[in-house]
Amino acid sequence: LAESVFWQDEHVSALNNIDRRESPREDTNLRARVFYGPGMAHWADCSIVDLSKGGARLQISSIYPLPPRFVVLQLQGGVAYDVRTRWRRGDMTGVAFDAQTQIANNTEERLAPARQAWDALKS
């Protein structure tokens, strides 16, 4: 009986860890910055820990109160992602992509703070 319960616990645990993403994620360690608030006046540096076609996992201090929607600027390559928060646990945040934009030639006023940061920080 004890072995049966152990097997069931292991089986349920394995099922809970199944990756339900539509596209595979790739482990990364990319420097990024998040922008949020009116006029994107608030920002914080973070890392993109993994990346897929539809979203990413960010490592960002839990002291930053991220809203449901914000912009993530990937510094390498200058890609700005409009994202939605999917989950948050400690310093990890899962986001889904709504749109992505190459920041270098983008003239949208709303992305001006991200463009200025990219110009100053690009590697």
In a domain, 77, yes or no: yes
Q: What is the pLDDT along the chain (123 residues), one digit of tens a residue?
A: 555 545 455 555 555 555 555 667 788 899 999 999 999 999 999 999 999 999 999 999 999 999 999 999 999 989 999 999 999 999 999 999 999 999 988 999 999 999 999 889 875
| Contact present, 64 and 26 (Cβ < 8 Å) | no
For residues 66 and 58, the answer to whether their CB atoms sit within 8 Å is no
Please give the pLDDT value at position 122.
73
Query: Does 17 map to a domain?
Result: no
pLDDT of residue 26: 83
C-alpha–C-alpha distance, residues 53 and 97, integer Å? 8
Contact 116, 103 (CB under 8 A): no
The pTM (predicted TM-score) of the whole model is 0.80
- Tokens for 6? 């152990």
In a domain, 107, yes or no: yes
Position 75 in a domain: yes
Whether 111 is covered by a domain: the verdict is yes
Residue 66 belongs to what domain range?
23-121
- The answer to the question of residue 15 being in a domain is no
- The enclosing domain of 103 has a CATH number of 2.40.10.220
Task: Count structural domains, the chain.
Answer: 1
Nearest to 103 by CA among 84, 87, 122: 122
97 domain-assigned = yes
